[in-house]
């Protein structure tokens, strides 16, 4: 199956660390990419591949993969990090699949 699963919501205290996970069989073979989406805005790529952060994305965003689970970690979460986070991965056929998204609340 090429489905991806994510926790619906997580919360983190200001300045603390939060890890968002994405699980699926495709992640055993291909890397996830992660997108931040704030209300009323288009998604924004924040991490991809083995260890890639687009220009302009703070280094408090990092990613990792272990077996069938990809993780996006925000170290020292800021108020502006409150958003929905979506993971994405391709499968063997080249189709792309999104996880359902995780709503991150910064307390």
Partner 1 sequence: QVQLQESGPGLVKASETLSLTCTVSGDSVSSTYSYWSWIRQAPGKGLEWIGYDYYIGTTKYNPSLQSRVSISLDTSKNEFSLRLRSVTAADTAMYYCARIGTGDDAIHIWGQGTEVTVSS
Cβ 28 vs Cβ 68: under 8 Å: yes
Q: By three-state DSSP, how is residue 79 classified?
A: helix
When the beta carbons of 2 and 75 are compared against partner 1, the nearer one is 2
Question: Rounded to an integer, what distance in angstroms lies between the CA atom of residue 100 and that of residue 73?
Answer: 18
Choose which of 30, 57, 62, 75 interacts with partner 1 (CB under 8 A). Answer: 30
Question: Rounded to an integer, what distance in angstroms lies between the CA atom of residue 102 and that of residue 65?
Answer: 17
When the beta carbons of 15 and 54 are compared against partner 1, the nearer one is 54
Question: Rounded to an integer, what distance in angstroms lies between the CA atom of residue 21 and that of residue 65?
Answer: 9
Tokens of residue 79, six digits: 């108020």
When the beta carbons of 10 and 48 are compared against partner 1, the nearer one is 48
Is 86 an interacting residue with respect to partner 1 (CB under 8 A)? Answer: yes
Q: Give Rg (Cα) of the chain.
A: 13
User: Binders of partner 1 among 37-76, rule CB under 8 A?
Assistant: 37, 42-45, 48-49, 52, 54
Is 33 an interacting residue with respect to partner 1 (CB under 8 A)? Answer: yes
Is 98 an interacting residue with respect to partner 1 (CB under 8 A)? Answer: yes
Binding site for partner 1 (CB under 8 A): 30-31, 33, 35, 37, 42-45, 48-49, 52, 54, 86, 88-90, 93-101
């Amino acid at each position: 199956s090429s489905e991806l699963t994510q926790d619906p919501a997580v919360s983190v205290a200001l300045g603390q660390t939060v890890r968002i996970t994405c699980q699926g069989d495709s992640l055993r073979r291909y890397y996830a990419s992660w997108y931040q989406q704030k209300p009323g805005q288009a998604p924004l790529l924040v991490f991809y591949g083995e260890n890639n952060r687009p220009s302009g994305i703070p280094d408090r965003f990092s990613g990792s993969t272990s077996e069938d689970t990809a993780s996006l970690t925000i170290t020292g979460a800021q108020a502006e990090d409150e958003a929905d986070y979506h993971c994405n991965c391709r499968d063997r056929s080249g189709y792309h699949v999104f996880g359902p998204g995780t709503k991150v609340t910064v307390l």
